[in-house]
Each structure stands twice: as structure tokens, then as C-alpha cells.
Structure 1
């Protein structure tokens, strides 16, 4: 068998019996509220790959929505083994991904990296970096994977395009690396205002850096991961949207087997992405949606949405009190209810 047809079994331990199941034709369909019920159980993982049966026969490409393969992940993904399946050109094009994507994410995304659209995207970016100033810097394109490893994700907040001015974009949606050298984003200002409505004790910070939220388990993911300097949406339609949809789909498949997560989509583009994911168990996960926090739309329902309190209410009930998000960004600022939740979980007080 040539390396190009290497099966998923080379990277993962397969359970005793692999199965292919047709999608349940009786499952409810969805429109914009995406209320599909998933039949995925804790020992089933939907894979995006060629299917090779137990006798080694290649079944060809399979529709990810139509099959389930019983697999049991190894504890670690073997990057070196995966590299051996790549051509010299692929190794060169994917060097950034192989060296800067957190291993927990690389394990579930490595097959996506070899798809023709992604390799074409990497060829485009190679030329862009030669002739243009691109944001964020290369080393920050996948910072979201390192700041919020896959097992740590409790909340997904979707953004759109990275900021396109210097010292702004650093790989996290809505976040600014160094606000002293950049204008404060109006959408983030409204996010802070929404937080202060939910939690009056929240002190609106002068900083726009949301790294602390990422460390808390909030995945801040843009649907496009790069942009030309001073040219908004310049990398839209080049392939990033396909990749980030695969990221979200893989995340949801992972969450189905774990505790579930909160998905937050502000604005129609983010809502359409989630609605088009396919089967998601919304009994196990929570989907919060509203208008975008942009000044153009925020007053049409964003401030009244109460998403930040809703996130913590759901985490308290479905994860634990210790897992609620501490939204405070100013040193010394505390929200009493969040502090008490965390102390209670640790047995430091008697708050119920």
C-alpha cells in the first residue's frame, strides 16, 4: 500500500469491530435552529478519511454524515508517523501547522491538512507572505490551539476576520494583542458593555487582550485566520472558511463524547456556520445566538441577550461550579457569584 492510501488505522488504535452505519433517515431535520439529534455515542467518533475495512480493502471516500467508525484514540498522536506519509512538498507547505498547532488539535485535524483545498490555501499564503504584510504573524495564526487545547474547550465564540492593523491580531477572535498601539475595537467595547449588564461588578478594562479568557477555556475562533494589512476580508473565500468549519465540526464531534460545550454565534454568518454543521446534539450542547456586537447591530438585541450569565449557568449545571468562566480582566476585579462558585466547588465555603 502506498503512503498516499495510508488508512486511519496507522494513527489510531481501532476497536475490535469497525462498523459503517447509514445515517438514520428518520432523524429530524433542521432549519436555522439546528435542532438535530445526534445518534453519536461516547464510543463512536465521526472520522473524515478514506474508509479501509478490517480486511484492508479500501472503500474509497465516504460521506462524513453517513458513517460512523468505532475507534479508540491512542493517548498521543504520532506526528512523526504522520510526517512519513507526506510528500516533500506537503512537508514544506504544512511546516507551520505541524510545528505550531497544539497536539490535541493536530490529532483531530491532521487529515484536513492534506485535502486539496487546504494545500491550495497554503500555496496562496506562501506567495502572500512573500509580497504582502499579513496579520496575524505566522507564529500566532494557530495560537488559539495552544491557548485553548481541545480538552479544555468549554465555550466556543465565533468571530469573522482578523484585525488588519499592526499590533492587533494575534490569533484570537475579538482580541487585540497591544491596545496601546491600536484603536480599541468597537465590537469588543460592546462585548464589555454586555458583560457589565450581566455582571454589574465587571470592571471594563482598558486592555483588549482576551488571552485570559482563552486560558479559561473560551475558544475565540475567527472563520478566516489571516488577512492582508489594512485590507479587511482580503483572505475571505481562499479556503479558511472550509477549514474553520471542519475545526468546529471536529470540536462538536469531540464534545458529543465528553461534557458538551456552549456555542456562541453573534451575527448571521456565525449562525449559518453552526446551522450547517449537520447533526449536533443540542440536548448535550448549548447554542446561544444574537445579533453581532458591532455598533451597527448591537442595540437590536445584543445587550439584552444575557449570554455571559447563560454560559456560566449552563457550565455550572453541566460541568461544575469550578468550571464557570471568570470574565474579569482587570487585576483585583472579582465577581462575587463566580468567586463563590469556585470556592464552593473546592469546599472552601458552604455556598450552594
Structure 2
């Protein structure tokens, strides 16, 4: 069974009692190597609790390359080089927007500031992107978004998949919803580059009376 001991308030979502057993059974029956490691599958939820969540970045599924995925959308282990291609484009846009970007692929310092880095599938078979898209994880993602919907938050929805998933659930008109092309090399030039998402989120957070996100370096404010 997957470890739920660090889920905090997220553990109250109906998914964990009603739906997780079927997902666990499907994972157990899958003969392929599964990523990320079992103790990292719920990392995004463990690191960013509901009341701490100020920004949501919705990804698709974990990196299918061994040693990359560690449970947070777009983030990877700090020793991963070269950067995953989508993350490399995220950093290029961040340089254009803010003049700097993190030194490694590890975005856990974003999570510590209230940025929920949530994939719409929490697992992936090694080497097979999208292989668990229909495993049942979308039920959890829907419940997470429903839990977050009542209070205004910023949502970065990169690509049609994220926009469709969130569009079916989010109802609060006071959210900041930034919808652009995905940072993938296949689409980044069609609206992701030049979108300035990081400064726009910080401007909105400040206008709400909150503090801006430190997007660029773990060691400083």
C-alpha cells in the first residue's frame, strides 16, 4: 500500500478511502517499472497543504526517465542534467521574465512557498509517457481542485490538457488563471514564450495582500 502518513489535510479527500485501493491494485498488476518511487508519489500534496496553497501549476504526468521524477510536476532531482526539455523552456522564460532561474531542476523550494506542483497522473510506466493517464488519478486531481476552488488562487495552466482538466472544475471567478501553450519544445513558441507567468503571478499575489513567490533561488527571499 502507498504511504499516506504525510498527506496531512489532503488525507480527508474521499479519493483515499474510496478510489485509491483500485489504483493500488492496478499498479500492482502492472508488470512495468513505475515512476516515481512509491514514497514520492504523493510528494506534491505532502509538501504543499491546502491552506498553504497559493499557486497551482498543473502538469500532465511524471517524467518517464529513471532518476528524474520525484513527485512534483515539472521538477526533477537536483543532479539531473541536462534539464528536462519542458523545464529548460520554463527556465528560459523565467530568465526573460525575471532575469534569473534556479541552478538545478529541483523545484521543491517552490512547493515550500505554497506552489502546488500537481500532475494529473501521479505515476507513469518507465519510458511510456501518458501510460497511466486513465488509471484513476484524475479523480484525485478533481477533488484537489474542488478543495482549492473556494478561495482565490493563481493557476498556471500550460497546454490544452491542463486547461481542460481545470476548466471542468474551477468555478471561482476570482482566481488568476493564466492559460498559455505548454512549455514543451513542440509548443513553447506558440504562446508560452513571452507570457511572463512568474511576474504576473507575483503582481497578483501582491495585489491580494500576499508575498511574492521567490521563483529563482532557494537560498534567498
TM-score by length of 2: 0.92
Q: Where does structure 1 differ by over 4 angstroms across 4 or more consecutive aligned residues?
A: none
Structure 1 residue 251 displacement after superposition: 1.8
Match of 2:140 in 1: 243
Equivalents in 1 of 2:209, 2:10: separation in Å? 21
Bigger Rg, structure 1 or 2: 1
Structure 1 residue 300 displacement after superposition: 1.1
Equivalents in 1 of 2:113, 2:93: separation in Å? 19
Pick from 94, 98, 118: which aligns with 2:4? 98
Match of 1:272 in 2: 164
Aligned residues: 221
Q: Does the alignment pair 1:324 with 2:209?
A: no
Equivalents in 1 of 2:165, 2:46: separation in Å? 23
Equivalents in 2 of 1:151, 1:97: separation in Å? 22
Q: Which blocks of at least 5 consecutive residues in structure 1 are unaligned?
A: 1-94, 333-338, 340-352
Equivalents in 2 of 1:105, 1:238: separation in Å? 20
Equivalents in 2 of 1:97, 1:113: separation in Å? 11
Aligned-CA RMSD value: 1.8
Pick from 275, 291, 311: which aligns with 2:201? 311
1:99-147 deviations in Å (ceiling 9; x for gaps): 242x12113x1x22233x543222111223xx33211101100111221
The higher relative CO (CA closer than 8 Å, separation ≥ 6) is in 2
1:216 match: secondary structure: coil
Q: Contact between 2:109 and 2:218, CA under 8 Å: does it hold in 1?
A: no
1:36-73 deviations in Å (ceiling 9; x for gaps): xxxxxxxxxxxxxxxxxxxxxxxxxxxxxxxxxxxxxx
1:213 match: secondary structure: helix
1:291-334 deviations in Å (ceiling 9; x for gaps): 001111111111111111110011001132xx2100112656xx
